[in-house]
Amino acid sequence: MASKSPIPQNDNVAHALAGAGGGILSMILTYPLITLSTRAQVESKKAESKFTEAIQKIIAREGVSGLYSGINSALFGISVTNFIYYYWYEWTRAFFEKAAARAGRASKKLTTIESMIAGAIAGSATVIITNPIWVVNTRITTRRQDPDLEAGAGGKPSKAPTTLGTLMALLKNEGPRALFAGVIPALVLVINPILQYTLFEQMKNTVEKKRKITPTMAFVLGALGKLFATSVTYPYITVKSQMHVAAHSEKKEGMSQTLSRVVKEEGYSGLYKGIGPKVTQSVLTAAFLFAFKDVLYEQMVRLRMGRKKA
């Protein structure tokens, strides 16, 4: 962020904490859209419904809280995900900037290739460490769509599953390997943040030549970057969600098998189920994240500097 303030821009931990905080705030604001999108991705074509109808069905069956099913694991997941991602992204950025300075390059701004490499390193580390969290979250989010699980004894609604309970049941019934279901398409999806942050950085560099980046401007640039990235990678998001849910089935499927099955059963349109709420959620989440992050970063740096002085 361009600023006349003496706030340093190379504090990896502050960037990581700001990213985690921004992720939590943006997730809270957009979570119902995640629920709608995830359920659409794993339901059969026959079960699909319009956006407003889907909201009404969830509220009628589960109450408003149904729109926030699995939010605890999602908030934990997004905070860990963003912390790891921004730590490694900023570490890699600092490495390239130092290399540019040693080489006597006029501009220390990341080139397009450097932005893509930074995104690949940060994204891969994040996927491997956080995939188990998102497997648990997807199981919780989609659990109640199964009629056999919607009612407990006597036909009464079953109690909402907890994050810890879902994790323990998954480990007991399927073993630790199930926590890494969908990790291959998730690694493929590293291209999503690569595209998103590369586009964001290049647009930001261009705008900074003319004006200061405000939270509003960061909101708009973040939205544009995420809109492009999610639209390009959405089929793999659908495949990853289906693999998370189907990991406990008798018939194990790999990424290519899941992709082929969806196309065979539902056509290519099946790969884009739930894209409306997903794109809306992704764009808004990214936009809010970028709007919040720079403000939070300054606060985190001041807090850390204050502690060091104390």
Number of folded domains that form the chain:
1
CATH classification at residue 187: 1.50.40.10
C-alpha to C-alpha distance for 199 and 218, rounded to whole angstroms = 12
Q: Over pLDDT 90: what percentage of the chain?
A: 5
With a threshold of 0.85, does the pTM exceed it? no
Residue 4: inside a domain: no
Residue 267: inside a domain: yes
What pLDDT, in 10s, does the model give residues 147-201?
Answer: 444 444 455 555 666 778 888 888 888 888 888 887 887 787 788 888 888 888 8
End-to-end CA distance of the chain: 27
Provide the pLDDT for residue 3.
Answer: 45
Instruction: Decide: 23 and 80 in contact? Cβ < 8 Å.
Output: no
Residue 3: inside a domain: no
From 35, 18, 19, 276, select the one nearest 138 (Cα to Cα). 35
What pLDDT, in 10s, does the model give residues 102-154?
Answer: 888 877 777 888 888 888 899 898 888 888 888 888 788 776 544 444 444 45
Instruction: Decide: 63 and 3 in contact? Cβ < 8 Å.
Output: no
Instruction: Decide: 79 and 20 in contact? Cβ < 8 Å.
Output: yes
> Which domain, by its residues, includes 54?
12-309
Handedness of CA 260, 243, 280, 14 (dihedral sign): negative
Residue 101: inside a domain: yes
Can you state the angle between helices 112-142 and 71-102, rounded to 10 degrees?
A: 170
C-alpha to C-alpha distance for 275 and 266, rounded to whole angstroms = 15
Residue 1: inside a domain: no
Amino acid at 252: K
User: Tokens 């089935």, residue?
Assistant: 249
Residue 139: inside a domain: yes
Residue 6: inside a domain: no
Provide the pLDDT for residue 148.
Answer: 46
What pLDDT, in 10s, does the model give residues 265-301?
Answer: 888 887 887 777 778 878 888 888 888 888 898 888 8
User: Tokens 């999503």, residue?
Assistant: 192
Residue 157 φ then ψ, to 5°: -55, 135
What the block records as the tokens of 100 is 């540019």
